[in-house]
Structure 1
Amino acid sequence: MTSNDMFWGLLFLFQTAFGTMGNSFLLGLYTIISFTGPRLRHIDLLLFHLAFVNNLVLLSKGIPQTMADLGLSNFLDDVGCKLVLYFHRVARGLSLCTTCFLSGFQAISLSPRSSKLAEIKAKIPKFIVPFCFLCWTFHLMLYWFILLNIKASTRMKNITERDNLIYCSVPIGVSFNVARYVFIFSLLDVLCIGIMLTTSGYMVFFLYRHHQKVQYIHGNNLTSSSSPETRATQTILLLVSMFLSFYSLNSILTLCMRLGKLISWLVHLNVFLAACFPACSPFVLIVSDSQIRKRALTLWDRI
């Protein structure tokens, strides 16, 4: 184990522990509130689901990556590699889907009652739980091919015919069926990104109009506190912006790795960037969402 491996191993350990702690805090907070009150907001159900899948992303990638970099080799067999990468891909897809739905949900919630979205606005809270179940079913079925193509690194005899993921390997020469599935979920990623960009643009426009209206009513020299709806919108925009930033960097780096030579530090950096959103998002929510802070303080006072 080199000093470089030690550095990356400790970095992944800190990132995984840091992110898991934040997501677990949100999961515990929402669970306690659901049993003791007050009543959860509709958006809290999506935030609970986001925290859960983000925890799964961190644990399924951070733990094996940390163990490999800290010198524990050959700790996963073929079955272990298949399961770890399968659940990581499923959780990553669910994180993207949930963030997309969160952005769309908030954009529809902002729409005026007189708009064409008024009917959808009234019904969309009923679709949150079915949406989560549908997403789980869809992604569990979509990534089945991973269970057929992933192998432990020690089982790959020819190093030139694999894409090394430090502790597992993926054959580069994939079949047509696998390539077709990769193309399908790439299109789904593009669709979700497009929805997030569109809804984010709408929310930015809404906040700008709201700011102009407040200035007109109160005058340029007076300020008014933001409404809960506005603060929630700003929080979702921050989450979506952070997701898109890390996703873009991760995608660009992945493309560079595919087109060029596979370098160890690029693999590590790519893994680190992919885990940045799951690790940072709970703390963005805790800091920017006043409702979460108030509920946490209320529960603390009760204790």
Structure 2
Amino acid sequence: MESSGIVTSVIFLSQTAVGILGNSFLLYHYLMLYLEGCKLKFTDWILQHLIVANFLTLLSRGVPHTVSAFGLKDFLNDIGCKLIFYLHRIGRGVSISSTCFLSVFQAITISPKASRWAQLKIKSPRYISSCVYMSWVLSFIVNIAFPMYMTARPNNKNITLLRVYELCYTVHYDETSDLLNAIFLPVADAWLILLMLWSSGYMVCILYRHKQRMKHIHRSNFSFRSSPEFRATKTILLLVSTYVFIYTISCALQVIMAQMYNPTSLSVYIALIVDTCFPTLTPFLVIRC
């Protein structure tokens, strides 16, 4: 194995192992709280869905490509290729929607009583819980067609119509259609990103106004900084900013790779590493805050 292959293998293995351990620890933490009868916040409930989505991404992306990076090639059949691609698309869809719902719910939670959001504070858990379940259903339905274009081996197909993606192949039609797919497929995700940014900006404005008002109060027990709402808001803002940053890089890489007939192993590995960054970092951002 070349030095570059060794470095790639170590990065994949470290990222996948750290991500699985971090999400497992967070899942164990919530399980213990549930068994002890503790009442969890609604943001914790959404985070649990995000953790499941992280597991889907890490198991469908990180594990197979870690095995491949260590030299074991062509170990997936057609069903395996279709399954890991389908699970990755589902995990990715639920991940972005759960992060968006976290941001929106927290913005409603910390909004002032005199704002327009005040009427939604009581009803928001019911609405958002329905949206979270709906995001799972839509992810299963919308992405069901994508595995149809995945195959493990060329078989009897013309190799010129296939694009190689390290472990699997996808049907290649022409550069124009591939570029259009790379641009228009993330449209729904773009709306969720904009909603994240809007709700995050709203939360930042609320925190800034509160900080300005609290300058005139010197008693420490009035500090909003030590409240659970502040900690939850800080965590969600970190999650949103991290997701937007990683997602922007991922989209740029997808557009670049759409222009390549046969993407190089380096470009595929970089895209995979970027895709698995968020599910790897999520549990540590939550634990940190």
Given the two structures, how large is their TM-score scaled by the length of structure 2?
0.90
Aligned equivalents of 1:196 and 1:132: distance in 2? Answer: 15
CA separation of 1:93 and 1:78: change in aligned 2, threshold 3 A: same
CA separation of 1:8 and 1:160: change in aligned 2, threshold 3 A: farther
Say if 2:285 is the partner of 1:284. Answer: yes
CA separation of 1:256 and 1:178: change in aligned 2, threshold 3 A: closer
What code does the residue aligned with 1:197 have? L
**Aligned position for 1:6:** 6
Cα deviation, 1:123-179, whole Å, max 9, x if unaligned, reads: 1112344323211111100011123111114548555433322101111218x9999
**Aligned position for 1:102:** 102
Aligned equivalents of 2:54 and 2:43: distance in 1? Answer: 16
2:163 is paired with a residue whose SS is strand
2:86 is paired with a residue whose SS is helix
CA separation of 1:181 and 1:166: change in aligned 2, threshold 3 A: closer
Contact kept? 2:178, 2:259, Cα under 8 Å: no
Q: Which has the higher contact order (CA 8 A, sep 6+)?
A: 2
Contact kept? 2:162, 2:169, Cα under 8 Å: yes
**Aligned position for 1:69:** 69
Q: Which moved more, 1:97-106 or 1:3-12?
A: 3-12
User: 1:212 Cα shift?
Assistant: 0.8
Contact kept? 1:46, 1:128, Cα under 8 Å: no
**Aligned position for 1:216:** 216
Write out the 4+ residue segments of structure 1 that deviate beyond 6 Å after TM superposition.
176-184
Aligned equivalents of 1:28 and 1:225: distance in 2? Answer: 28
**Aligned position for 1:143:** 143
1:164 is paired with a residue whose SS is strand
Aligned equivalents of 1:158 and 1:15: distance in 2? Answer: 36
Aligned equivalents of 2:67 and 2:158: distance in 1? Answer: 24
Aligned equivalents of 1:65 and 1:112: distance in 2? Answer: 47
**Aligned position for 1:93:** 93
What code does the residue aligned with 2:145 have? F
**Aligned position for 1:249:** 249
How many corresponding residue pairs?
285
What code does the residue aligned with 1:46 have? I
Aligned equivalents of 2:156 and 2:249: distance in 1? Answer: 29
**Aligned position for 1:187:** 187
Aligned equivalents of 1:184 and 1:231: distance in 2? Answer: 36
CA separation of 1:143 and 1:225: change in aligned 2, threshold 3 A: closer
Aligned equivalents of 1:200 and 1:224: distance in 2? Answer: 18
Aligned equivalents of 1:159 and 1:126: distance in 2? Answer: 51
Given the two structures, how large is their TM-score scaled by the length of structure 1?
0.86
What code does the residue aligned with 1:12 have? F
Backbone CA RMSD of aligned residues: 2.5
**Aligned position for 1:238:** 238
Q: Unpaired segments of 5 or more residues in structure 2?
A: none
User: 1:246 Cα shift?
Assistant: 0.6
**Aligned position for 2:125:** 125
Q: Structure 2 matches for 1:264-275, cutoff 5 A?
A: 264-275=265-276
Q: Unpaired segments of 5 or more residues in structure 1?
A: 289-303
Q: Which moved more, 1:138-147 or 1:210-219?
A: 210-219
User: 1:236 Cα shift?
Assistant: 0.6
User: 1:35 Cα shift?
Assistant: 2.0
